[in-house]
Structure 1
Amino acid sequence: MIVTGRLVLLQVAGVVPALIWQSASVVWLWTLGVALVAAIDATVAVSPKRLRIQGAPPATARLGQPSSSMLTVRNLAKRTARAKVRDLWVPSAGAVENIHRIRLRAGDGTRVSTPLLPSRRGDLPAGPIAVRTYGPLGLAGRARTFPREQALRVLPAFTSRRHLPSRLARLREMDGRSAVQVRGEGTEFDSLREYVIGDDVRSIDWRATARRSEVVVRTWRPERDRRVLLIVDAGRTSAVRVEGGTRLDAGIEATLLLTALASHAGDRVDVVAFDRDLLGVTATSKADSALASVADGLAGVEPMLVETGWETIARWVQTHHRQPSLIVLVTGLETAAIEAGLLPVLPALTQRHRVVLASAATSDGGPWHSAAATDAVPRGDAAPSGADEPPADAFELAAFLRSELDRAAISAELGRLGVSVIDAPGEQLAPRLADRYLELKSSGQL
């Protein structure tokens, strides 16, 4: 049995007769009377078991975008039910206004909605449904909790979608929809059409011309049906904080943008997530569902504090991707991790495939953008006054410069091995990777 604030107020009201008659028996009689009324009120209340509650959370939601959870409540009792239904979720689901007051006559039903605003991607489990029913007086009632095995799958935010229209426009230009289709590197035969003044005479198809008795030329389009493999690193370097999120989050944004672009271009996209072992493979076959499949496949991937198994990745690629492909390694550019794990297996990848490494930088300008750090660096032979040691900002600046030199050195080493490196801040990684893909496609290097 549960009690309400009304019962407390009713008990406090007993102070009035106690002050009038000033007798202990009055207090006891009042207390017993209140308890008896509360017990009767709770007994008359509809049992929570007589309420049929069915939860219907949305199948998927996108990170940072509002959604809602629906509950259907039906009263199976033969009297009116007065109840509070609380739709419980984990904190990261962002459930607000999740306590619903309902009043249902016998046999009636209703639906209640709980707004959700997820703040974390992945599978967010739904909590139990807490139900409290009250008697006609509202003094006491009954309570029961109903467990449920449901979850909300939160997809990545895909904030990089704003870069997609401009890249698709460039792709259409490459595809010849807004430009003349001419033969060149990275193109393949498309169709025949009638010759018009200004066409390149080298594109004339003389055999077709002889058959049709009119001059026809060949038209060309960018190569299609190429294979693009994106390998998303979920090891320890992906847990680094980058612009309010993790490096893995920035890598997923770049992966989604490239998936949408490549699928529109007619290429086949496969996405693989690795840490020490294989986490999941998403193979896309239809352009219409490619983006949704990849987003669903990467929704539950979280960074793990383990070393990435690059040898395992190389063996997997050699087994499943024998055809020449564009391989995009979405990982970090830390010197130690690359020298120990990635460099030894790169020759096996670059021998057959075109390899691009995309890394989200951990800073955008670093201490150079801090006036305090700039002022902290001594100029000329002048030493900081009143201090025997350089200020802390000077050490921060030195560490930043050392890191930048290391990243430049490892980028040069990767370039000598035939790897194209993209090192950009988190928000710029996705458009930079899309631009590199368009460059490679237009030049026939996929």
Structure 2
Amino acid sequence: MRPGPRLVPVLAALAAASLAVPLVPELGRVLAVLAAATLLSALTEAALLSRLKVSLERRGLVALDLDEEEEVGTTLWTSARRPVSLVIRQRWPALVAEGSSSARGVCLPGRAMEVSFRVRGIARGNEILEPAAVAATSWGLAERVLAAGSPGALAVLPNLRAVGRLHRQLNQIALRGLGNRTAPRRGKGQEFDRLREYQEGDDFRDIAWKATARHKKLIVQEYRIDRAQEILVCTDRGHRMAARAGRIARIDHAANAAVVFAYLANRIEDRMGLLSFAATVEPGVLPGRGAGHLRRVMSFATALSAEYVHTDYLALAVDLGRRLRHRTLVLVLTDLPLDEERAGELVRLARSLAAKHVAVFVVSSDPALEARARFLPADRAELARTLVARDLWWNREQVLRELRRLGAMVVETPPDRWGIEAINAYLEIKRRQVL
């Protein structure tokens, strides 16, 4: 129990008024009565609040999408027979950007009070959500602070909103083409889909002559993009992935990209697998598809965390050599190493994949390093920094050129666009029938 928000101002006002007692002696008795009444009211309110019970209800599991601002709703009730002013303060685990959130309102007798907090998840994981602290007062002269509710669970998951946005975009594309015939285009699929009647503009090479003779009208064969192809996403979890890119770490951007990519591959009916690597390779999720497979991918991506060790690209190359039996699209999410030893290992990884598989390297761009390399120095200190930056930038460009020379597709983009650019590269490979 503690003084309410109105008690100190009331007593301060009475103390200020007491300065006029020498001028108006009768005022002293009035002020004494008011002070006694105020203290008595405060004690009465404290006694009433000591029997007050506050109930708090929230979802059993508070699940947030990584790097998305969301509302967490809470419902409160009190046992009081009169309106009670409540101030609710919720402390958040380190997974959330906000250290704590507060809200206030008046809870009427027999009715629930709804409050919500705006929070943003900045790291994946699961944490205990401690009970909320509630400060309750009726008249404002006394205030009781108590814990409301029981401990809950908070989970920050890879960004499912991005998956929802992709789902809506794909549905819009499908509906936009409903009732339209897709024009023949270069690079169309090679997997047979169906037979249909010839329409003006169809390629004569697609005419099925046996079916035409049987039906006595022109029938063409339709093809679709090949499905059930193997895709393996390899996520780097070495020390460079622990660095922040925006509000969240690079490893979190990689987890988001893996989940979004898995959804699209499942939609296209390809078989997608996921693994992570640093000093060693963690097997992860075998290639597959379906709702159960997506749940396994989500669970593995949620548990991804960066380790403060060097990334061993040769260990990944050896593991992939044993693992992959068929031609596979290998998508590597990593941050480009600047030291010659690690960069050489990355090139050797690309060389080992080039002969049999399709390799795509999605690496983070470094606009700050590029800007420093292009900077015109004004003194010797700036000249030294510029020369170092140019050496690093030149080494970086050499590695990228070597990867492309070996036949790998290299996507250089900010980490927050890894998912989008990986999808674009994947669709381009499907369009060109490279896999």
TM-score under structure 1 normalisation?
A: 0.74
Q: Which amino acid aligns with 2:84?
A: R
Indicate the SS of the match to 1:98: strand
Alpha carbons 2:231, 2:271 under 8 Å: kept: yes
Q: CA deviation at 1:59?
A: 4.4
Mapped partners of 1:112, 1:266: distance in 2: 44
Task: Decide which moves more: 123-132 or 228-237.
Answer: 123-132
Q: Residues 50-61 of structure 1 correspond to what in structure 2 (within 5 A)?
A: 50-56=53-59, 59-61=62-64
Mapped partners of 1:278, 1:111: distance in 2: 48
Q: CA deviation at 1:115?
A: 2.9
Q: Which residue is equivalent to 2:426?
A: 437
Q: CA deviation at 1:144?
A: 1.4
Q: Residues 15-414 of structure 1 correspond to what in structure 2 (within 5 A)?
A: 20=21, 37-45=41-49, 47-48=51-52, 50-56=53-59, 59-63=62-66, 65-76=68-79, 79-80=81-82, 82-90=84-92, 92-94=96-98, 98-105=102-109, 108-118=110-120, 120-123=122-125, 125=127, 126-134=129-137, 137-146=139-148, 147-153=150-156, 155-156=158-159, 158=162, 178-180=182-184, 187-195=190-198, 199-240=202-243, 242=245, 246-248=249-251, 250-252=253-255, 254-255=257-258, 258-276=261-279, 278=282, 281=285, 285-286=289-290, 298=301, 301-310=304-313, 313-314=316-317, 317=320, 321-336=324-339, 338-339=342-343, 342=346, 349-350=353-354, 352-363=356-367, 366-367=370-371, 373-374=375-376, 376=378, 390-414=379-403
Task: Decide which moves more: 126-135 or 10-19.
Answer: 10-19
Pairwise CA RMSD of aligned residues? 4.6
Q: CA deviation at 1:309?
A: 4.8
Q: Which amino acid aligns with 2:431?
A: S
Indicate the SS of the match to 1:359: strand
Q: Which amino acid aligns with 2:412?
A: D
Q: CA deviation at 1:82?
A: 2.0
Alpha carbons 1:14, 1:30 under 8 Å: kept: no
Indicate the SS of the match to 2:195: strand
Task: Decide which moves more: 215-224 or 263-272.
Answer: 263-272
Mapped partners of 1:359, 1:164: distance in 2: 27
Mapped partners of 1:163, 1:411: distance in 2: 32
Distance 1:251 1:66, change over 3 A: closer
Mapped partners of 2:373, 2:351: distance in 1: 38
Mapped partners of 1:59, 1:195: distance in 2: 55
Q: Which residue is equivalent to 1:7?
A: 7
Q: CA deviation at 1:142?
A: 2.6
- Deviations along 1:171-221, one digit per CA (max 9) or x if unpaired, are x99xx9522278x68522222233457655543434434544444332222
Alpha carbons 2:101, 2:117 under 8 Å: kept: yes
Q: Which runs of 5+ in 2 are unaligned?
A: none
Mapped partners of 1:177, 1:255: distance in 2: 33
Alpha carbons 1:81, 1:133 under 8 Å: kept: no
Distance 1:30 1:195, change over 3 A: closer
Q: Which amino acid aligns with 1:271?
A: L
Distance 1:56 1:283, change over 3 A: farther
Q: CA deviation at 1:299?
A: 5.0
- Deviations along 1:59-118, one digit per CA (max 9) or x if unpaired, are 4444554422222222346x436242414132735488722233332xx13132223131
Mapped partners of 2:260, 2:63: distance in 1: 19
Indicate the SS of the match to 1:117: strand
Q: CA deviation at 1:429?
A: 5.1
TM-score under structure 2 normalisation?
A: 0.75
Equivalenced residue count is: 419
Mapped partners of 1:280, 1:302: distance in 2: 13
Distance 1:111 1:38, change over 3 A: closer
Alpha carbons 2:98, 2:119 under 8 Å: kept: yes
Mapped partners of 1:43, 1:236: distance in 2: 57
Q: Which runs of 5+ in 1 are unaligned?
A: 377-389
Mapped partners of 1:325, 1:4: distance in 2: 68
Distance 1:224 1:177, change over 3 A: farther
Alpha carbons 2:347, 2:399 under 8 Å: kept: no
Distance 1:204 1:8, change over 3 A: closer
Give percent identity, aligned residues only: 22
Alpha carbons 2:190, 2:226 under 8 Å: kept: yes
Q: Residues 416-431 of structure 1 correspond to what in structure 2 (within 5 A)?
A: 417-426=406-415, 430=419
